[in-house]
Structure 1
Amino acid sequence: MADRREVPGIRRYDAPAGGWGALRATAQAIHVQMETLKAPITLMRTNQPDGFDCPGCAWPDKEHKSTFQFCENGAKAVAWEATSKRVRPEFFAANTVSALRELPDHALEDMGRLTHPLVYDRDTDTFRAVAWEDAFGRIGEILRGLPPDQVEFYASGRTSNEAAYLYQLFAREYGTNNFPDCSNMCHEATSVGLPQSLGIGKGTVSLDDFEHCDLILSIGHNPGTNHPRMMGTLHEASRRGVPIIVFNPLRERALERFADPQNVAEMATLGSTRIASTYFQVRAGGDAAALKGVAKALLALDAERGGTVLDHAFIAAHTGGFDAFAADLRATAWPDIERASGLRRAQLEQVAGAYAQARAAIVTYGMGITQHNRGTGSVRLIASLLLMRGNVGKPGAGICPLRGHSNVQGNRTVGITEKPTAPFLKKIEEVFGFRPPAAHGHDAVAAMQAMVAGTAKALLCLGGNFAVAMPDAGQSFAAMRRLDLSVHVATKLNRSHLLVARETYVLPCLGRTELDVQASGRQSITVEDSMSMVHASAGKLAPASEHLLSEPAIVAGIAQATLPHSKVPWADLVADYDRIRDLIERTIPGFDDYNLRIRKPGGFRMPIPPTERRWNTPTGKAMFSVYGGVAEDPAVFAEGVLRLVTLRSHDQYNTTIYALDDRYRGVFGRRDVVFMNEADLAANGIAHGDLVDIETALPGLARRLEKFTAIAYDIAPGAIGAYYPEANVLVPLDFIDPESGTPSYKSAPVRVRRSAAA
């Protein structure tokens, strides 16, 4: 940023991702949050066979050959949960909810762990302590008075398999399939698109496949921040010479160079390893066009080389729809591909050439693919590209959707879905003796729309920060406050808790790091990582308060109070989580010998039929899919319109903000910034450091973010970046991928102007 005026909190950061910077940041987080003597022991238990699963990302565990199995952001997540700070009832007595709403999100969670169940007192505008029995009783009384379809059951990705299973069981016995969950806001396009292509809504690769691949295509994700343990895998692949080709609108430091803190030589020499062998800054929303360009070039290369590039035997034996797919590629013009992708034909042909040479290739992708208004089509397009060369169902090859939270995939596996299958519902009826509802329920956007319309009256949140995570804060926040009831199961205070309904309860639960003792003794819970490995997790820390209950116990307590004649033995299930797992085994395929297998280090892998080239699609084959056109929305090409990409900072995980720095992007102590390409700054008469207003550029909508500081950054022309969740206000609630319902956080059309005050 030489020759630019200095901007407070903005400075170059030239070090690699990881390295000594990561160690310093880890030490700082531990120093601020945890007791000095407790911290090392706690961190050494992270992701160990006899310890607890990191409450951060869902990247799988390596073989336990290294001293520590956590990364910088994992250490922050552990420190954030295992903090020594406490928020007790006397604090709430002295601070009104109205006053707390004025505090920044970071400050709210940084107050520490909740210690008592709380109820909102409207007369004093404060939370006060309430007995568990009284809370359960009143919640049950309200729920019994409401039609089930007026109640929304939200689940966060940090929830264990056991708690999630009980939660879906409670809601279905109560009478609804309203299950908005965090998957709806991130990888629902995967859950919808991949079953159509491959017959399963999950990735097909294992961690071992990364040791056998000879090409990685990395599309639309920033692993250094959002799934940082992946950096060790990419580091190893790069050092053994595997090309890693990146498509991403922003230059992200972790995808450029990384120093592994566990590599003694790199740390001692201040060295680093290049990650991306080639980096293509695709236009925001232009990933599908780029993928079609690569596939089109691959098709042409196959013709030039006499049919030796595509795996024609695999295509004939295992797939359908190839002819229509190929015809669409041939009909798509290169000028349209170049315009929509922001990349040149020669660049995409270069990628096709590298892909043609690879014996086994993996495609990894994140929310840069899924959070677009044609995200599901883009997911199918990735699958089609892999199918062209038979890169599914062989070692070192496959598709790798990068799930975010540590058990977001497991929640879906055990039944957190608004679209349950008929076989699953039949099993529930056979085992429990009640008939669950069959009608599809609400996803996250539909749930919020029902709240806005006034047809949803109650919201139960098993973790998370629902309103803040949703788009269109102006509508979403107001809708929360019009509810009759909101219930939040949480470890810390967040903004959604403060958007109080007529009656609001905040129920504190045990964290992942804490000892969970029930009637039968110490309990373990289980989680499923992003590669379908299911393993046990058992905390060992003393609970933050004697008044905490586990998530399964809280779900069971509400269920018993709501359904006095329930056919589910709630108390018995909470007494011993093995009993919950026995029921999961009886009702969900793939959990055979569940309790036996989770007692083995590393756990077990759920069945992934495409790895055996079995395709659970209606045709019994993997399906190519036509992606019609290449432009997501004509608005993206309107004069003066830019495309908003919402981003997480490096000191952030989902809506949780650990601190106000974004080290790798050179932002320190602030979040009120918008990243812009220098050409876009000039075209809009804006200088680096100017205050700007950002407006949604869709007809009939007035969404506005004011007085943010424009920062010149290496981002693709036509795109701007701003932090999530602050920029969510600019994303309309109904601006979604119609196939999956996923909000388009990565592709909202906006205009940027200098602020009047500037």
Structure 2
Amino acid sequence: MSKNPIRPYNGPAGGWGALRSVATQLIEQDIPVSGARTLLSANQPDGFDCPGCAWPDRDHTSTFEFCENGAKAVAAEATKHRATPELFAQHTVADLARYSDHWLENQGRLTHPMRWDAASDKYLPITWDEAFSRIGAHLNALASPDQALFYTSGRCSNEAAFLYQLFVREYGTNNFPDCSNMCHEPSGTAMKAQLGIGKGTVQLRDFEIAEAIFIFGQNPGTNHPRMLGELRQASKRGAAIVSFNPLRERGLERFADPQDKLEMLHNGSTRISSDYFQLRIGGDLAAVKGMIKRVLELDAQARRDGRERVVDLDFIAEHTRGFEAFVAEVESESWDTIVAESGLTRAELERAGDIYARAKSVICCWGMGITQHKHSVATIQMIVNLMLLRGNIGRPGAGPCPVRGHSNVQGDRTMGIYEKPSPAFLDRLRDVFGFEPPREHGHDTVGAIEAMLDGRCKTFFGLGGNFATATPDTEATHRALRRCDLTVHVTTKLNRSHLVHGRDAYILPCLGRTEIDMQETGPQSVTVEDSMSMVHLSAGINAPADPMLLSEPAIVARLAHATLGARSKVPWLWLIGDYDRIRDRIADVFDDFYDFNLRVRVPGGFHLTNAAAERRWLNREAKALFKPHAVPTDLPVHRARASREQPVFTLATTRSHDQYNTTIYGMNDRYRGVFGERRVLFINAQDIAELNMQAGDWVDLESLCDDGVRRVAKRFLLVEYNIPRGCLAAYYPETNSLVPLSSFADEARTPTSKSIPVIVYAHVAQPGANLQSAKDIGLVRVD
């Protein structure tokens, strides 16, 4: 650990700091030359799609279209480091488990399929044929296909995801826990009920003309840095950018575009947020409802004065239902409750409402700061209610914009990775492939962990991701995985999930997005769908990290062939000879993918139809629905505060800037002024004083839940930060252990990782522990 981990950072997001960080990562991964060439092929028509976030490309034919975190993701994949069988020969699994997640990833690309040997506690090499044969035999020996779980990461391509769901459904189950269950499930659940489609309605061109952009629970500077380019341009042309976030985040304040020569030359930057409202953690529903209340008050005044109405009555009459009941419910909610629960003043909420009412076109964006709460579905529906008031759906420069995480997480769901498939989709699979798919709904992520714990599921297969680290309630999740008879992981690098394994375990290494995928008919391209429903090609340019590696589609197809054998209706090995064949089958199943191979070869690809963007509402009512929701005043944190005299805080888990999902690129969080340390707790100065502590003290965190389980995360460094009183933030996965498995979003079952009731108390070092004292750390305040 650094002797001085907390140092103020006063620069903008981006800028020279971003370029230095990219250069450092390229050097650390030992690819200073080839890595630079690889970066220049990111998001290009003849190159590969960035394996990082799902933010779309402004121009898929432009050059230099990547960001700091995208560069880190590419460098991490294109590294020269290798995790060969020799690494596993030197270490038992118990030995490897003692290393940090950062160290595990930095061993480099996996090169050979491996099987865990119980006698030596080591992973040993195995041939691909033997691995597929053994895994297939295990699957066929289960009493029911429903005893197997098939997890999916948002990294895999459309082709891999389609084959995966096809194999699993022909095998006989809908057990598809996936990363959507842990992040944006509430977005799809909320919008599908309200608008008939679970995707955002905007495209990048809408950001060019929006008069106002509202950002809720999102930190684009770290999680979607390319979005800052759009916000920067919007700010420069005078659009209002209104941010709601408990933490003061540099990426929402100022941005220096590394691709702007003048800005870089003069050390300049561009203001991002015109207004920044630091609400309480979980206070977004109350804040949006306050804005709505203000808009309705302005509308009532306009009606009294005989002026043009503020709400769009024509749109509401033609396209919506439930307006009158919704208005009555909003009017019945008191300003006192809204102010208390949002953590903002009435004047602040009225200002936000005024900005919304003045703008002729508005985009509302949100991230996981909205989705990982118990009331997340209600919050998103309140945001959509706000948009419906003035017809801000289905016209240029306006619309809801959930900003999803991993690069193809939206495409995976489009391809059928969903534990609750529609009857119409299953009917189409039956008609195209000639088998009867299972109809019973499967397990989501929380349900999968529960099913492993109680023995209903005995096999876990992971197509990418780091399930053991990404999931809530770490101890319970690890116990669940260890109860399995078999765990299998398709992956590019070593991670924690490979060390928390079942009685039999396999690691199946795959090609990365940057690598050439050579099949029977030559090099192949895959496709991905970004967060705004653009589908485009991705083709690797680097030689594979090792000749032994297989592509994800090849792994899925060969496993399906080994498992299903002659009883399968699908020509698995033929399909992977040329991925155009897979895309033809995708087009057979999904109407929106007609002429898939032709349209995807147009530079930039094609946009999937979005009915709500065309003001066609595909829900049961055939209308967009106003959905009333009371401001919640009986959440777990309310009950915890009512039952205890000591201070109860709301903790939100967050990423550092040197992190993407569970991948730790480095130990720094530059924008928040944290260097070389991850076990930190961001807290308001007044709360530190109320605890009779000082910045630099070490503390333990204990979450409060009524399930009788005591969950404690030990030894976190108190860091004074610009965050509202009663609110805390700390990194995940270090604090995932505090999230109870039983605490999830209403209707969507997403873990409540952004609203954990906790208490804080002094850490007592264990005898013999070598801990650095707070006085040696040299702490300063972080703003």
SS in 2 for 1:744: coil
Alignment-derived partner of residue 761 in structure 2 = 753
**Larger mean Cα displacement after TM superposition, 578-587 or 625-634:** 625-634
Structure 1 distance, partners of 2:32, 2:223, is 27
- Residue 681 of structure 1: CA displacement? 1.1
Alignment-derived partner of residue 310 in structure 1 = 311
Structure 2 distance, partners of 1:364, 1:34, is 37
- Residue 357 of structure 1: CA displacement? 0.5
Residue type matched to 2:263 in 1? E
Alignment-derived partner of residue 780 in structure 2 = none
Alignment-derived partner of residue 724 in structure 1 = 732
Does residue 528 (structure 1) correspond to residue 529 (structure 2)? The answer is: yes
Does residue 262 (structure 1) correspond to residue 269 (structure 2)? The answer is: no
* CA displacement 1:386-435 (0-9 Å, x = unmatched): 00000000000000000000000000001000010111000000011110
Structure 2 distance, partners of 1:192, 1:330, is 26
Does residue 130 (structure 1) correspond to residue 130 (structure 2)? The answer is: no
Indicate if the aligned counterparts of 1:644 and 1:746 stay in contact, CA closer than 8 A: yes
- Residue 575 of structure 1: CA displacement? 0.4
Alignment-derived partner of residue 222 in structure 1 = 219
Residue type matched to 1:428 in 2? L
Instruction: Report the TM-score, using the length of structure 1 for normalisation.
Output: 0.98
Structure 2 distance, partners of 1:9, 1:284, is 26
- Residue 561 of structure 1: CA displacement? 1.1
Residue type matched to 1:750 in 2? V
Indicate if the aligned counterparts of 2:61 and 2:603 stay in contact, CA closer than 8 A: no
Structure 1 distance, partners of 2:289, 2:44, is 42
Residue type matched to 1:118 in 2? M
- Residue 479 of structure 1: CA displacement? 1.3
Indicate if the aligned counterparts of 1:285 and 1:632 stay in contact, CA closer than 8 A: no
Structure 2 distance, partners of 1:74, 1:635, is 36
Structure 1 distance, partners of 2:166, 2:255, is 44
Match of 1:67 among 49, 60, 63: 63
Alignment-derived partner of residue 278 in structure 2 = 281
**Larger mean Cα displacement after TM superposition, 559-568 or 529-538:** 559-568
Match of 2:718 among 706, 710, 723: 710
Match of 2:691 among 684, 702, 706: 684
Match of 1:8 among 4, 11, 21: 4
**Larger mean Cα displacement after TM superposition, 185-194 or 36-45:** 36-45
Structure 2 distance, partners of 1:67, 1:489, is 32
Structure 2 distance, partners of 1:96, 1:361, is 56
Alignment-derived partner of residue 659 in structure 2 = 652
Alignment-derived partner of residue 776 in structure 2 = none
Structure 2 distance, partners of 1:302, 1:442, is 46
Alignment-derived partner of residue 672 in structure 2 = 665
Alignment-derived partner of residue 742 in structure 1 = 750
Alignment-derived partner of residue 415 in structure 1 = 416
Indicate if the aligned counterparts of 2:338 and 2:631 stay in contact, CA closer than 8 A: no
Structure 2 distance, partners of 1:128, 1:634, is 46
* CA displacement 1:202-251 (0-9 Å, x = unmatched): 00000000001000001001001111110111111111111100000000
* CA displacement 1:175-207 (0-9 Å, x = unmatched): 100000000000000111101111100000000
- Residue 7 of structure 1: CA displacement? 7.0
- Residue 738 of structure 1: CA displacement? 2.5
Indicate if the aligned counterparts of 2:149 and 2:457 stay in contact, CA closer than 8 A: yes
Alignment-derived partner of residue 388 in structure 1 = 389
Indicate if the aligned counterparts of 1:7 and 1:689 stay in contact, CA closer than 8 A: no
Indicate if the aligned counterparts of 1:374 and 1:632 stay in contact, CA closer than 8 A: no
- Residue 515 of structure 1: CA displacement? 0.1
SS in 1 for 2:134: helix
SS in 1 for 2:483: coil
Alignment-derived partner of residue 561 in structure 2 = 560
List gaps (5 residues or longer) in structure 2: 766-772, 774-783
SS in 2 for 1:505: strand
Alignment-derived partner of residue 355 in structure 2 = 354
Structure 2 distance, partners of 1:212, 1:596, is 31
Does residue 486 (structure 1) correspond to residue 487 (structure 2)? The answer is: yes
- Residue 635 of structure 1: CA displacement? 2.5
Alignment-derived partner of residue 469 in structure 2 = 468
Note the 1:445-594 alignment, pairs <5 A: 445-564=446-565, 565-594=567-596
**Could you say what the CA RMSD is over the residues aligned between the two structures, in angstroms?**
1.1
Alignment-derived partner of residue 3 in structure 1 = none
Alignment-derived partner of residue 111 in structure 1 = 107
- Residue 756 of structure 1: CA displacement? 3.2
Structure 2 distance, partners of 1:631, 1:170, is 45
Note the 1:38-57 alignment, pairs <5 A: 38-57=34-53
SS in 1 for 2:58: coil
Structure 1 distance, partners of 2:466, 2:481, is 12
Structure 2 distance, partners of 1:598, 1:701, is 51
Does residue 233 (structure 1) correspond to residue 230 (structure 2)? The answer is: yes
| Equivalent pairs, count | 753
- Residue 500 of structure 1: CA displacement? 1.8
Residue type matched to 2:660 in 1? Y
Kindly tell me: are residues 448 and 634 of structure 1, through their superposed partners in 2, closer, same or farther at Cα, counting changes over 3 Å? closer
- Residue 328 of structure 1: CA displacement? 1.0
SS in 2 for 1:128: strand
* CA displacement 1:442-466 (0-9 Å, x = unmatched): 0011001111112110000000001
SS in 2 for 1:575: coil
Structure 2 distance, partners of 1:144, 1:685, is 60
Does residue 94 (structure 1) correspond to residue 90 (structure 2)? The answer is: yes
Structure 1 distance, partners of 2:270, 2:291, is 27
Structure 1 distance, partners of 2:61, 2:442, is 45
Taking only the aligned residue pairs, the percentage that are identical comes to 56
- Residue 35 of structure 1: CA displacement? 2.4
Kindly tell me: are residues 433 and 373 of structure 1, through their superposed partners in 2, closer, same or farther at Cα, counting changes over 3 Å? same
Indicate if the aligned counterparts of 1:680 and 1:717 stay in contact, CA closer than 8 A: yes
* CA displacement 1:588-635 (0-9 Å, x = unmatched): 121011000111110000000111111101110000101123336053
SS in 1 for 2:28: helix
Instruction: Report the TM-score, using the length of structure 2 for normalisation.
Output: 0.95
Does residue 615 (structure 1) correspond to residue 622 (structure 2)? The answer is: no
Note the 1:185-224 alignment, pairs <5 A: 185-224=182-221
Kindly tell me: are residues 469 and 64 of structure 1, through their superposed partners in 2, closer, same or farther at Cα, counting changes over 3 Å? closer
Indicate if the aligned counterparts of 1:149 and 1:178 stay in contact, CA closer than 8 A: yes
- Residue 322 of structure 1: CA displacement? 1.0
Does residue 433 (structure 1) correspond to residue 440 (structure 2)? The answer is: no
Structure 2 distance, partners of 1:26, 1:454, is 45
